[in-house]
Structure 1
C-alpha cells in the first residue's frame, strides 16, 4: 500500500531485525526460494540474494514459500510456536486453572512465555486464561444461574475472587448485573478473541476486546453517560452485531449497517465518522484522516481520537497506519491490527 524504501534501507532493517517494518515489508531469498519477515531469527542472506515485497501475498505470487520459522503469511503472534500451542490449549480447555507449573510441564520456560504473551497481547498467559474463565462465569450469570454456580464453573476458588474480578471490570459485583432495563453486556467470540458488546434496544454503545487495558475505563464512560449500571444479557442489537462480525470474518461482509452510539466528544465522533468511510481493504494515514475532516493540522488529535475508539472493527480504527506505512499502535494489540488488515484484503476490489 506504500512504496518500499530502497534496498539498502531494507537490508539494514533485515540485519537489525527492525520491528518497524513488521507486516509492511518481506524479503524473498532467491538461493532458497523462501520468504521471511524482516524480524526472522534465521541467518541473514547475502544482499544480492534478496528480493523485497510489500506483502506476503506478493512474495507468494512470485513463487516464494513462507518460512517455517517466522511464518510470514500469518499474524505476528502466529510466528511463535509456543504462543500458538498455549492459545490452542486454552481453547481446548477454557475452564482450566492454569499455573506456571503447567507451563513447565509443557516444556516451556514461564518467564519466556510471560514476556512473549505481554509482547503480543499486552497480558500474560495466566491473565488471558483467567479472563476466559471470567467470561464463562459471566455467561452463566446472564443466563440466570446462581452466582456460586457460575463461580465454580469459571474455576475461581472463592466467591470473593469471582466478585472482585467482576467488580474490577464493571464497577459492581455480578449479583447486581442481571439485565432488567437499559444497557446490557454480552461476550462475542471472534477469530481474534473474545469481545464485550454493550448495547440497548436502539444501538451498539461499545464493542471491545476483553483483554484491552483501557476496557474498564471505556465501560465506566458508557455507564456514566447513560446514568446507570450495565447488566448482563443480550439485546437484538447484540445479536445483530455477533452475526455481522461473523459474516465479516467469513468474507461475506465488507461494511456494517448497525445503529451505533459511540461515546465521545464532537471532534472524536467526526474522526470516527471519517474512519467508517475508509473502504475495507484500504488504509489511511493519520494526516489523511485529519484532512478528511477538514482539520489538516490536527494529526495528533486524530491519533488520540483513533486510540479512544470504543467500537472496534465496526468503527475501523485499525485501517489507520503511519505515514511511512508502518503499523502504529492499536489498543487491541498490533497482532490484531495486522490480522484485520490482512483479512480485509479480500474486500479490496469492492466499491
Structure 2
C-alpha cells in the first residue's frame, strides 16, 4: 500500500541506484513517457518531477500507465494470476480496440472468473477498464481542441453513434451538443484509484467525481442546468491546479488542497462540507461528531445526507466519515476506494499517532 512506502526522495534515490531490494515492492510511473517500470529498469532514469511511485501494479494501471517493455513489470503478476496479466498486457498492446466478452473467451479464459478477479483487484471489470481507457483518450483529444471525429477515432469507437452514446452516458449530452462557448469545463483526471471527471469554471472547481459513481450523470445534468446549457470540455487553471494537487496527494508529498471550490447545496450542507475539510488526513469522524462540530448535535441524519450529496470527492473528504461503531458505512466511490483512501492517508499522520491508529476493514 502507498502508506508503507518510503518518502519520494528515498525511493527516487533507490531508482537512480537501481536498488534490487525494492523489486516487486515499488514501481515508478513516468509521466513523460506514460509507462511504469521496476526500479531496476535498465532504461535511462527520468527526472524526479516526472516520477510517481506506487506499491502495486494495479495502482499503476489504474493511473493510466502501460507496462514498460524493457523491464516487464507484469511478469511477477503473471505468476500469481496469468489471466489478469494476459488481459492487461493485451489491453496495453491494443488500448483502442473495442474489447468484448467473446475476445476474453477466445483467449481461453472463463468470463465469470475473470470478472471476479478484476473486480477484486481493481474494483471494475476488464471490459469496464478497457472502455474507460478508450473514452478517456477521446475525451482528452476533445479537451485539446480536436474535432469530434478526431476524438471518436482516438477513442477507437467504430461509429460516431457509439462514441456519442458513451459521452451521453457519462456527461449527459453527446459531443456535438457540448457548448462551444462554455461557462463550465469538464476534464478527465486519471488517479491511482481510477479515472475521475472534474468540472470547473475559470475560477473554481465545481465537481470532482470518479467516473463510475452512479450519481455522476445526475450531478452533471444539474451543473449543465446551472450553466444554462453551457457545459463543455476543456482545461482551466483550477482544473490543472487540482490535477497537480491530486498528484502530490497520492505521491505522499502533501494532503492539502487549495483549489478554490464552488458549493452547490444549502447553507447547512455547506457547513457540513466545511467541517469535513477540517478533519485531518489520516483520521476519521462519525456523523454525530460532525453534527456536534457545527452546533447541530441532533441533526445526524441531515449530516449523513449532506455527506452523501458531496460532489467534490477527496478535497471535501467525506471518505473520512465512518459509522459510530467504526464501520466504513457507504461511499459513493465504492467502499474499496474508501478503505484505500484511509490507508493512503495514514502516511500523513504524525509518526507517534501511527502506532495506535487503526482503520476498520
Could you tell me the TM-score, scaled by structure 2's length? Answer: 0.70
Equivalent residues in 2 for 1:8-47, closer than 5 Å: none
Query: 1:292 and 1:252, CA in 2 relative to 1: closer, same or farther beyond 3 A?
Result: same
Query: 1:155 and 1:202, CA in 2 relative to 1: closer, same or farther beyond 3 A?
Result: same
SS at match of 2:260: coil
Q: Match for residue 162 of structure 1?
A: 163
CA distance in 1, matches of 2:304, 2:120: 22
CA distance in 1, matches of 2:89, 2:253: 26
Question: CA shift at 1:275, angstroms?
Answer: 0.4
Q: Match for residue 98 of structure 2?
A: 97
Equivalent residues in 2 for 1:236-275, closer than 5 Å: 236-275=237-276
Q: Is 2:200–2:238's contact at 8 Å kept on the other side of the alignment?
A: yes
Q: Deviations over 1:137-185 (max 9, x none)?
A: 1111222223223212212111111112212322322123265341101
CA distance in 2, matches of 1:289, 1:264: 17
Q: Is 2:179–2:230's contact at 8 Å kept on the other side of the alignment?
A: no
Q: Match for residue 296 of structure 2?
A: 295
Equivalent residues in 2 for 1:135-284, closer than 5 Å: 135-177=136-178, 180-284=181-285
Q: Match for residue 33 of structure 2?
A: none
Q: Is 2:170–2:211's contact at 8 Å kept on the other side of the alignment?
A: no
Q: Is 2:84–2:117's contact at 8 Å kept on the other side of the alignment?
A: no
Q: Match for residue 114 of structure 2?
A: 113
Query: 1:322 and 1:83, CA in 2 relative to 1: closer, same or farther beyond 3 A?
Result: farther
CA distance in 2, matches of 1:297, 1:258: 32
Query: 1:304 and 1:229, CA in 2 relative to 1: closer, same or farther beyond 3 A?
Result: same
Question: CA shift at 1:230, angstroms?
Answer: 1.1
Question: CA shift at 1:105, angstroms?
Answer: 4.8
Q: Is 2:188–2:198's contact at 8 Å kept on the other side of the alignment?
A: yes
Q: Match for residue 53 of structure 1?
A: none
SS at match of 2:186: strand
Equivalent residues in 2 for 1:65-84, closer than 5 Å: 81=81
Q: Is 1:179–1:233's contact at 8 Å kept on the other side of the alignment?
A: no
Q: Is 1:95–1:133's contact at 8 Å kept on the other side of the alignment?
A: yes
Q: Deviations over 1:157-214 (max 9, x none)?
A: 1111111221232232212326534110111111111110100111100001111111
Q: Deviations over 1:282-324 (max 9, x none)?
A: 1111121121122222222222221221001111111111222
CA distance in 2, matches of 1:334, 1:199: 26
Question: CA shift at 1:95, angstroms?
Answer: 2.2
Query: 1:228 and 1:97, CA in 2 relative to 1: closer, same or farther beyond 3 A?
Result: same
Aligned residues: 281
Q: Is 2:181–2:230's contact at 8 Å kept on the other side of the alignment?
A: no
CA distance in 2, matches of 1:291, 1:235: 37
Q: Is 2:182–2:230's contact at 8 Å kept on the other side of the alignment?
A: no
Q: Is 2:196–2:209's contact at 8 Å kept on the other side of the alignment?
A: yes
CA distance in 2, matches of 1:172, 1:294: 41
Question: CA shift at 1:233, angstroms?
Answer: 0.4
CA distance in 1, matches of 2:116, 2:102: 16
SS at match of 2:247: helix
SS at match of 2:214: coil
- Runs of at least 5 residues in structure 1 that lack an aligned partner in the other structure: 1-22, 24-55, 58-73
Q: Is 2:123–2:336's contact at 8 Å kept on the other side of the alignment?
A: no
SS at match of 1:246: helix
Q: Match for residue 325 of structure 1?
A: 326
Q: Match for residue 126 of structure 1?
A: 127
Q: Is 1:309–1:317's contact at 8 Å kept on the other side of the alignment?
A: yes
Moved over 6 A (4+): 77-80, 119-122
